[in-house]
Amino acid sequence: MHNKLTPRFSVITVTYNAQHTLEETILSVVSQTYHHIEYIIVDGASTDKTAQIIEKYREHIAKVVSEKDKGLYDAMNKGLKLATGDYVCFLNAGDCFHADNTLQQVVHSIKDNNLPDILYGHTAIVDEKRHFMRMRRLEPPTQLDWRSFRQGMLVCHQAFILKRALAPSYDMRYRYSADFDWCIRAMKKAKTLHNTRLTLIDYLDEGLTTQNQQASLRERFRIMCRHYGYVSTVLHHAWFIVRAVIKR
């Protein structure tokens, strides 16, 4: 049966001084064979050549904002406010759709005419030359719900596509892990979560500093306590430690 669904995807790229990585991201969006896309770029008033790169592809970009912001998640909230599509998804500068027909494959993976609240899939890790390195260590479960993230962020934020009507704002209390909290809150509201079983994203492996990794983990612990309870979170972390020791 031919799939006649044509949902509109609002793809949002947040960027700041990303002249070396932004063009690959833009090309991965504008080259999609699926054409029901609203592309939005939110730039934090970059001082490098980011503006020139955006202008080069301006005819393919629905909305552009370039102004100072209060950080990554403030910029993402701006993108959400501008979005008008059925779904929203975020591609940071340097990250790309896995293939030119990724969104077409996503739509074709939906087996009936009811649009799921959340679409999700796998993520490949690539280097700066776009060469495949490995699949993301944490893999999406066959069936996902808000309790799944007790095990960690099993779905990469970029491979998590959400109905715009259900999308909460990012909580500005979190500097590094507001996306983790955002996904959990979205899943709590969602009734249908669809595993596309596709590799959706090529994620650029730039790496965080050790300091940022530690800060992110501390935030994630606070977020998990908020959603799953302190005792449950501590017990889960204790089990992770025991399991790691056993595997040695």
Query: What's the pLDDT band for 128 if we cut at 50, 70, 90?
Result: confident
Note the pLDDT of residue 105.
Answer: 98
pLDDT one-digit tens code per residue, 129-146:
899 999 999 999 999 999
Q: With cut-offs at 50, 70 and 90, classify the pLDDT of residue 3.
A: low
Show the domains of the chain with their CATH numbers.
9-208 (3.90.550.10)
Phi-psi domain of 71 (left: phi exceeds 0; alpha: psi -120 through 50; beta: other): left
pTM above 0.85, yes or no: yes
Q: What pLDDT is recorded for position 235?
A: 75
Task: Report whether pLDDT(1) > 50.
Answer: no
Cα–Cα distance between 100 and 110 in angstroms, integer? Answer: 18
In tens, the pLDDT along 140-179 reads 999 999 999 999 999 999 999 999 999 999 999 999 999 9
pLDDT tens profile 192-245: 999 999 999 999 986 544 458 888 889 999 999 999 998 878 877 665 555 544
Question: Tens digit of pLDDT for each residue in 32-79?
Answer: 999 999 999 999 999 999 999 999 999 999 999 999 999 999 999 999
Where does the pLDDT of residue 109 fall: very low under 50, low under 70, confident under 90, or very high at 90 and above?
very high
CA pair distance 5, 123, nearest whole angstrom:
24
Residues 189, 154, 139, 248, CA torsion sign = negative
Whole-number mean pLDDT of the chain? 91
Determine the pLDDT at residue 237. Answer: 65
**Closest C-alpha among 172, 178, 183 to residue 117:** 183
Average pLDDT value for residue range 10-27: 96
CB 97 within 8 A of CB 200: yes
- Percent with pLDDT over 70 in the chain: 91
